């Protein structure tokens, strides 16, 4: 497909490489120009503005940090919304709010454009290996049209229905569950350490019996070794996602007390300078509270 990609961070850059490898004609844009220039030799074009990246494409992918970034590149008077051709599709692969997803779906529809929410599960190493899991929601015919893009960056695509915000709710819920695993591992390792048991020994038993899953193995290993730098997924972004989850739950009148506990842990970690560390570093708050 003739595609554009805006956002070349830890996830967007390897996704761009995989799209090119799969044969898509790609235009890229990144706020920091030097990052985009890394791809100059392999992409069709390095755009100088978001609007330039959105013009003359069949599909535009955005992979940016938050709602504020989406607002700036899409709803700016000279932004994506004005430049994207009629009939083209905007694929938002970022973790954004449910409300922003609704706004995007409405705004694109009013201009004769299409919108798909397609956030992904996976860390930068999975993005590099084209092993992301894509959760897509939007018009069925547009999801089918964009399958080659999803296949280029991921190992499996799940379709969550025709209402785009459904994919964003699922993504936020998945990230919430990861934070509860991180918190429970941190508390469990704090307990065994107080009894002189190595966290690694507990982790081996847990992942070899009851909890044989990547989320326990990967985050458990980080917490057991107390090594969180460099951050594969930065704690400040985890806090952003937690806030989006709580906002969605409030809007739907769903009590979600575990999210409030996680929120306070993340804020405490942020206050202690861990914002750029991996979000699993929140475990240090549990260790500190246990006197470790």
Using CA atoms, how far apart are residues 96 and 94, in angstroms rounded to an integer? 6
User: 288 catalytic, yes or no?
Assistant: no
DSSP string, the chain: -EEEEE--STTHHHHHHHHHHTT-EEEEE-SSHHHHHTTTTTSSEE-SSHHHHHTT-SEEEE--SSHHHHHHHHSSTTSHHHHSPTT-EEEE-S---HHHHHHHHHHHHHTT-EEEE--EE--HHHHHTT-EEEEEBS-HHHHHHTHHHHHHHEEEEEE--SSTHHHHHHHHHHHHHHHHHHHHHHHHHHHHHHTT--HHHHHHHHHHTT--SHHHHHHHHHHHHT---S-SSBHHHHHHHHHHHHHHHHHTT---HHHHHHHHHHHHHHHTT-TTSBGGGGHHHHHHHTT-
Pairing assessment for the beta strands 2-6 and 25-29 based on DSSP bridges: parallel
Catalytic residue among 32, 131, 171, 194: 171
Cα diameter, the chain: 64
Residues catalogued as catalytic = 171
């Amino acid at each position: 497909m003739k595609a554009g990609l805006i956002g070349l961070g830890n996830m967007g850059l390897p996704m761009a490489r995989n799209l090119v490898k799969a044969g898509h004609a790609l235009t890229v844009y990144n706020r920091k120009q030097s990052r985009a220039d890394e791809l100059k030799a392999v992409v069709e074009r390095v755009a100088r503005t978001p609007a330039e990246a959105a013009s003359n494409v069949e599909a535009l992918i955005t992979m940016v940090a938050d709602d504020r970034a989406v607002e700036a590149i899409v709803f700016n008077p000279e932004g994506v919304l004005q430049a994207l051709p009629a009939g083209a599709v905007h694929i938002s692969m970022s973790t954004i709010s449910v409300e922003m997803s609704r706004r995007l779906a409405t705004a694109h529809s009013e201009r004769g454009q299409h919108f798909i929410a397609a956030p992904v599960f996976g860390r930068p190493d999975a993005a590099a290996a084209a092993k992301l899991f894509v959760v897509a929601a939007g018009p069925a015919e547009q999801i089918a049209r964009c399958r080659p893009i999803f296949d280029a960056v991921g190992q499996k695509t799940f379709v969550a229905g025709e209402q785009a915000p459904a994919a964003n709710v699922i993504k936020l819920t998945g990230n919430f569950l990861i934070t509860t695993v991180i918190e429970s591992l941190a508390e469990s390792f704090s307990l065994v350490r107080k009894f002189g048991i190595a966290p690694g020994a507990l982790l081996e038993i847990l992942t070899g019996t009851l909890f044989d899953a990547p989320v326990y193995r990967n985050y458990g290993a980080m917490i057991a070794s107390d090594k969180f730098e460099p951050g594969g997924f930065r704690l400040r972004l985890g806090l952003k996602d937690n806030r989006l989850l709580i906002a969605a739950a409030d809007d739907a009148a769903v009590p979600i007390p575990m999210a409030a506990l996680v929120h306070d842990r993340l804020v405490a970690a942020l206050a202690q300078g861990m914002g750029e560390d991996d979000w699993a570093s929140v475990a240090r708050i549990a260790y500190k509270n246990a006197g470790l």
